[in-house]
Amino acid sequence: MNVARIVFAPLSITGWGALQQLVPEVSKFSPKKILVVTDPALVKIGLAERVTESLRQNGFAVEVYTEVVPEPPLEIGEKLVQFARGNRFDLVIGLGGGSALDLAKLAAVMAVHEGSVADYLNLTGKKQITQKALPKILIPTTSGTGSEVTNIAVLSLETTKDVVTHDSLLADVAIVDPELTVSVPPRVTAATGIDALTHAVEAYVSVNANPATDALALQAVRLIARSLRTAVQEGSSRQARTDMSMGSYLAGLAFFNAGVAGVHALAYPLGGQFHLSHGESNAVLLPYVMGYIRHSCQKRLADLLDYLGGASHLLSEEEASYRCVEQLVSIVRDVGIPQTLADFQIPQSALESLTQDGIKQKRLLARSPMPLGEDDIRTIYRAAYNGK
């Protein structure tokens, strides 16, 4: 076995009603001024106020920053950082989907660093993160990204996405309360749920997988496969929302430690060039990437079949891995996500520029069990376009 570095966020509080632990956790930091980074949708439904009022009633000074947009562009990150630097906060709370949580992480780190966010981007930045960030508490309101337990913040650039990544971005406390996800609309539930499934599947087949990440990934696949369809169709189901919250959280821990690979490498250009949501980009590519690399990780995909609701015991490894990919196709279809790039109105003429941006994601591609070069990436995009 390779040497494995396994990092879990220091403290996680999970389960229905976990949000009630926010004030006691905040108190431990004795903050003088708290920055809450949240999403306008959560202001609209009253969830942001529920959080800020509970803090104010307990005597904490709170400023709320709501200029969060889905798949945040770099400029939104730069603007928030200026705001954070100008205000001497000593605790940051992120409340929202991955977009709000990633921005909260950036604010907490960049408040104690010089220069622009662009200076710290993985692909093109020249500066290194060196300082411990402001303390941060992350509260996800979607079940998808796992951002509450990863050391990554993702930003949209002109034609692709890039990340700032360092352990300084890790939460001090993650509060994972499925109740907060009940209001997520079906389309977002579907896309974010497949995002979480992709994290677990890619972590399980990653070249960096190890027994600890396997345990997390397999349990995540089991919870997501049994509950995503219900969460989409019956958003108020406490059981389904709880499974999805835990599935997303476990998948986050799995992929943070084992990495994601080809699906994400090809999804980033789709998000960058065509503004597909992160979840939908992953969802449309997941079956095609897994189908293409299947023979390089046949045993692993055969294992996954049982956790996806199938039965592998009477099948050859080859047959079970094939059925695993079929299960992925059916779950994406059942939650109502379009099955091809053409269905998403991506023009065929864009496949070459997608390929050229996909090949740049070397950090992600390095975790694929099958090396993926330019021709492989082009072939996968073509298959995802044509649906075969």
Q: How far is the CB of 313 from ligand NAD (least distance, A)?
A: 34
Q: Smaller CB distance to ligand NAD: residue 150 or 298? A: 150
**Whose Cβ is closer to ligand NAD: residue 105's or residue 323's?**
105
The structure tokens 């070249």 sit at 207
Q: Cβ of residue 147: shortest distance to ligand NAD, in angstroms?
A: 4
Q: Based on CB atoms, which residue is closest to ligand NAD, 193 or 369? A: 193
Q: Which residue is nearest to ligand NAD (CB)?
A: 97
Q: What residues does 93 pair with on adjacent strands? A: 36, 137
Smallest distance from ligand NAD to CB 50, Å: 12
Nearest to 259 by CA among 156, 151, 183, 333: 151
Distance of closest approach, residue 62 Cβ to ligand NAD, in angstroms: 20
Contact set with ligand NAD (CB under 6 A): 39, 41, 70-71, 96-100, 102, 141-142, 144-147, 150, 152-154, 161, 180-181, 183-184, 188, 192, 195, 278-279
DSSP 31-83: -SSEEEEE-HHHHHTTHHHHHHHHHHHTT--EEEE----SS-BHHHHHHHHHH
Residues contacting 329, CB < 8 A, separation 6+: 287, 339
**Can you read off the two tokens belonging to residue 362?**
């070397």
Residue nearer to ligand NAD on the CB measure, 165 or 321:
165
Q: How far is 227 from 224, CA to CA, in rounded Å?
A: 5
Nearer to ligand NAD, 104 or 346 (CB): 104
Burial 297-309 (b: 16+ CB within 10 A, else e): bbebbbbbbbbbe
Report in angstroms how near the CB of residue 228 gets to ligand NAD at its nearest.
Answer: 14
CA distances from 366 to 285, 296, 381 (A): 18, 14, 18
Give least dist CB 299 to ligand NAD, A.
Answer: 27
Q: Are 216 and 253 in contact (CB under 8 A)?
A: yes
Nearest approach, Cβ of residue 150 and ligand NAD (Å): 3
Q: Nearest distance from residue 149's CB to ligand NAD, in Å?
A: 8
Output 242 or 312, the one with its CB closest to ligand NAD: 242
Q: Are 300 and 205 in contact, with CB atoms under 8 Å apart? A: yes
Q: End-to-end CA distance of the chain: give it in Å, rounded.
A: 36
- 194/293 with CB nearer ligand NAD: 194
Residue 351, classed as helix, strand or coil, is: helix
Nearer to ligand NAD, 84 or 320 (CB): 84
Dihedral (CA of 286, 377, 209, 11) sign? negative
